[in-house]
Each structure stands twice: as structure tokens, then as C-alpha cells.
Structure 1
Amino acid sequence: MNEKINIMVGGPEALIPYDQVADHRSETWLGVDLGATRLLEHGIVPEYAAGDFDSSTPEQLARVKAAVQKVDIYPPEKDYTDTQIGILLAMKYYQPASITIWGTTGGRLDQLLANLYTPLMEPYRKYLAKIHLVDRQNTVDFYEPGSYEIYKVPEMPYLAFVNLTPVTGLTLPDEKYNLDHFDSSLPISWSSNEFVGTINHFSFDSGIVAVIQSRDVHSQGPFKGVK
């Protein structure tokens, strides 16, 4: 169906850009655990709600069951995180052109790392390039080897390249701080780089690289960067 799929999860609410969420209300939404309640509170009825709902109160879960046509409840002890369940649902019932996950960053560090590394794992790997993480302070996109043109999010002054696996040939030709055919056997975050202009390029020969655009907390205002 090649739909744009959005997944709302239960990360820190202060980091969720609800102004931007509203711009995507006509797209397909899935609610994971507390994320289903958050969508209902902002006038969006998800097509699916799923998770162990251990972050939801009984009253919130009852509201979700009453409003959402498809609700899957999992035990707390399970093989997948709630966010992974949301991605699996998107893969099973849709042919997503993109999967944008909201509210999946911030809060507990172990959960953040789990979400950051999930796209590298089977069976999510085939959708790696289509998965995007968004909050008020960051956007995260994932890349496999190749040459790429990237566009600056207006509100995000900082640019980072993070090799999540061993990488070879990482080249940043026209960013503020250049890199020329860098190889590493360890994950490294090349943070606090910046765009030169609004379009930049990068390339690498092997590995997986996350590109993060970000801004400081004190600069937060309305976020209109994700289309």
C-alpha cells in the first residue's frame, strides 16, 4: 500500500512535537502502549494499538479499547519491546513507504539504545532506510553503504554522523568539519558538525551510519521540520 506509517510510543511527553504530529494526522497511525492514549488525547484515533500497556492506567487502557478497532495486548515478559511490536505491525499489515516513530527517544538510556539499534536487527533491517526517529530535539535517519545528499532541517543547527557498526570509507566532503575515507572497527559519534548551506553530501563503503540532526534544549520552540 506504500503508506506513510507513524508510530507513537510512550517516551517522555515533553519531547514529542505535537505541532508536527498534527500535520501528519491524515496519515496512518499506530499507538504503542501509552502512545495510543496520547494520540486519542490529541484527536487522532490510531488504526492499531498494541503493547503490554504497563505504562497505561486501567482507565487509559479501557479508553483505548473503546476507541480503537484493533488492540493487541502482550504480556510484560515478551521477546520484543513495545516499539519493536509497533514496527512489526507496520511491516505485517502495510507496505510502508516510511515508518516515523515519535516519542522513542529521551528518558531511560537502555530504552533509547534499544530503539537506536533496532533497525540493525532482523527482521527490521530490510526497512532500515525507511525508519525515522523524531522528537523536539532530534531527527534520526539510518543509512546503508552508498553516496547520499541530505537536507538541513531548519530548526536543527547540529549534524552528527554515528557509525553504529564498523565502517569503512566514511567521507564528509562538504560539511563544516570534513572527513576523508575514515575507517573504524568501533562505533563513533562524530557530533556537533554542521551543514554548509542547506544541502550536504556524505558517503561510505561498508557499515551502518545514523545521521542525527539536533538542537539544544534552550532553543526549543515549535518544530516544523519533518515532512
Structure 2
Amino acid sequence: MRVNVLVGGPIEMVPTKLINERRNEKWVGVDRGAVTLLKMGIVPMIAVGDFDSITSNELQGLENALHQVKVYPPEKNYTDTQLGIRFATQDKNPDEIDIFGATGGRLDHLLANIFLPLQAEFRPYLTRIKIIDCQNIMAYYLPGRYTISHIKGKKYLAFVNLTPVEGLTLQDEKYPLIDWNSKIPFSWTSNEFTAEENHFSFKKGIMAVIQCNDPLKLGN
């Protein structure tokens, strides 16, 4: 079972075609993301956030259309995205959690969203979470050996250690790497698949793997 979460990042980075394809799946709307879903004809299970980026009329529209709207003060212990993931996992135990609208705009928001799955509360779901926008699909990995499948339209393949890492091996990518260690985060960018399936492994740490492409027409 998959839960999709749309947060309030710049709409031009949101892959609206993919969201429309998933309109009958479970959705959580976060702040302005809830308004965007309604405009697309998708009624989320719940809308959460401080809603400081929408008008009172838009908030009233959410309250009229949804069964659950949770409004929090701007000064709170959780970010809006954290609240969205909390509700996505609450009593549901989803197999996949895909986050949209989490990129673009402010860098502090972007970094908070990228590092969110490393937090203790969300760590049990780390390998189930993906961050998706028009150009990128990012997944998280714990130590092990993995086969990754090439996603159509994504030219590049990046490997990013978010924590210290040991034994990172890119076995059959265009630019191989053997038993690499680092005490600091590092991004091996612009690698590529050599076949429809490639492999990688590592012994310690947390990795993000990003399949991405150069800019396409916005909203695709």
C-alpha cells in the first residue's frame, strides 16, 4: 500500500502528470499542497500544517471539502512535512511513502526534507520513502547489496552518502567505485546505468540514490 504526500513547494517542480495517474491512491495534503490537490480534483485523506501560505478562503475550502483538517500554529515542534509523514504512517504502516512538492524554493526547506527520514521517529520507514519531482526520484538505502532498475527518461544516476559510509561499491555503473569510505557526506553525481539493471553495495551508513534528468517541460 502506498501513501502519497504533497507538500507546499513550488508547483513548477511538481510532476502533475504522475500525480493525476495516482489520483485514486491515498493522499495527504500538507499546507498549500492540500489546496493544490483539491484544484486537481483529488481529495486527500487529511490536510495538515500551519497553513500560513494560504488565504482564509482557501482554508475554509479545505475544511468544507475534507473530513480532516489539522491546523497547527506556526511555532510548533514539527515542520509541516514532518506532520504530513506522521499522518501518512499513523495506523497505516504503508509499504511506500512518496513525497512530492518537497524540492525547489528555499534551501533550508529542501535540506530539512532530505534529512527527514534519518530522524529517529521516521527511521523505521527510511527505505520506504522517496522524494519525487519533475527531474528527480530519490530513494534511501541501508547497508546491503542492491539491484536498481533504470527508470525510463532518467539519464543520470547519483549516489549520495548522507552519513559516514564504508565499503561503497558501484559494481557495474558507467563510473565504477570500489570499497570507498568517507567520514563526510559526498555526492557522486552524473553517473549512468550501463544496463537496465545495475548493482551497488555498502557496508555501513545511509545512502540516497537519485535517478534524474536535465530539465524538461515543467509539470511533467
TM-score, with structure 2 as normaliser: 0.98
Deviation at 1:147, TM superposition (A): 0.4
| 1:61-140 mapped onto 2 (5 Å cutoff) | 61-140=59-138
1:187 alignment counterpart: 185
Change (3 A) 1:221 1:63: closer
Q: Which runs of 5+ in 1 are unaligned?
A: none
Matched position secondary structure for 1:93:
coil
Contact 1:161 1:190 in 2 (8 A): yes
Alpha-carbon distance in 2 for matches of 1:193, 1:64: 43
1:33 alignment counterpart: 31
Structure 1 segments, 4+ long, off by >2 Å, are 219-223
2:53 alignment counterpart: 55
Matched residue type, 1:5: V
Deviation at 1:221, TM superposition (A): 6.7
1:166 alignment counterpart: 164
Matched position secondary structure for 1:136:
coil
Deviation at 1:93, TM superposition (A): 3.0
Alpha-carbon distance in 1 for matches of 2:94, 2:54: 27
| Percent identity of paired positions between Structure 1 and Structure 2 | 50
Contact 1:137 1:220 in 2 (8 A): no
**RMSD of aligned C-alpha atoms?**
1.0
Change (3 A) 1:21 1:196: same
Deviation at 1:37, TM superposition (A): 0.4
Deviation at 1:220, TM superposition (A): 3.8
Contact 2:8 2:30 in 1 (8 A): yes
Matched position secondary structure for 1:80:
coil
Matched position secondary structure for 2:168:
strand
Alpha-carbon distance in 2 for matches of 1:88, 1:80: 10
How many pairs does the alignment contain? 220
Alpha-carbon distance in 2 for matches of 1:56, 1:94: 28
Q: Which runs of 5+ in 2 are unaligned?
A: none
Matched position secondary structure for 2:38:
helix
Contact 2:13 2:219 in 1 (8 A): no
Match of 1:154 among 152, 155, 160: 152
